[in-house]
Chains A and B, each alone.
Chain A
Amino acid sequence: EIVLTQSPGTLSLSPGERATLSCRASQSVSSSYLAWYQQKPGQAPRLLIYGASSRATGIPDRFSGSGSGTDFTLTITRLEPEDFAVYYCQQYGSSPRTFGQGTKVEIK
């Protein structure tokens, strides 16, 4: 099973600032089958990034993903008020599919 470790656990930032979230895998994620999801309280997760760096439909270009192998990054260039949420990385290239424990981006 591939274990995903996200850091930091919480990121305290102000609107307009840049957010950098990390996701590290216990073993290489095949073919960059790595996704990022955003979840707000009381809502289902929403797909942001797939294939490590491709934005899902309708996702603003302030969200970008990068990385390969075991190290991946989600960057939000300028935080908007609606971006404060919990973010999860997920690998879907092998079973079981696994999620990281999440990074909460909170308003400073």
Chain B
Amino acid sequence: QVQLVQSGAEVKKPGASVKVSCKASGYTFSSYYMHWVRQAPGQGLEWMGIINPSGDSTSYAQKFQGRVTMTRDTSTSTVYMELSSLRSEDTAVYYCARGTARLGAFDIWGQGTMVTVSS
């Protein structure tokens, strides 16, 4: 079945970086855009950015510009999101989500990865 499986929970110190992976299966990986969305504890959903099917184009929310990098590896059907210069406010669940098109809703979501930033 179509699914996105994310890497496990992470605990990081302030100033460190974290790299979260999202492995796709059950569909043609190279045909779909992928998004990253995060959710702080008890809060709403926040869009972080998008990577195109071939991996050569990204667009990030202004809030994360300079700190986030999204990449994808077609050989393993995996997308990655790396966030640097972590601070306590980055503590959140991070989700990958498949976009149905460049301008498309998010139809498949990963299970989420909890990232905790604490000294």
Q: Does B100 contact A (CB under 8 A)?
A: yes
CB contact between B61 and one of A31, A45, A51, A96 (< 8 Å): that residue? A96
**With an 8 A cutoff between CB atoms, is B104 at the interface?**
yes
Q: A50-B105, A92-B104 are in contact. Are A97 and B47 (CB under 8 A)?
A: yes
List B residues 19-50 near A (Cβ within 8 Å).
Answer: 35, 44-47, 50
**A56, closest chain B residue (CB):** B107
Residues of B within 8 A of A (CB): 35, 44-47, 50, 59, 61-62, 95, 97, 99-100, 103-107, 109-112
| A-B residue pairs in contact (CB < 8 Å), sample of 28 | A33-B103, A35-B105, A39-B45, A44-B95, A44-B109, A44-B110, A44-B111, A44-B112, A45-B45, A45-B97, A45-B106, A45-B109, A47-B106, A47-B107, A50-B100, A51-B105, A56-B105, A57-B107, A90-B105, A90-B106, A92-B103, A92-B105, A92-B106, A95-B59, A96-B62, A97-B47, A97-B50, A100-B44
A49-62 vs B, CB cutoff 8 Å, 1 = contact: the mask equals 01100001100000
Contacting residues, chain A, for B107 (C-beta < 8 A): 47, 50, 56-57
Give me the interface of A with B, judged by CB distance under 8 Å.
31, 33, 35, 37, 39, 44-47, 50-51, 56-57, 88, 90, 92-93, 95-102
What separation, in Å, do the CA atoms of A31 and B104 have in the docked complex? Answer: 11
For residue A101, which residue of chain B has the nearest CB? B44
User: CB-nearest residue of chain B relative to A99?
Assistant: B45
Q: Interface majority SS on A: helix, strand, loop or mixed?
A: loop
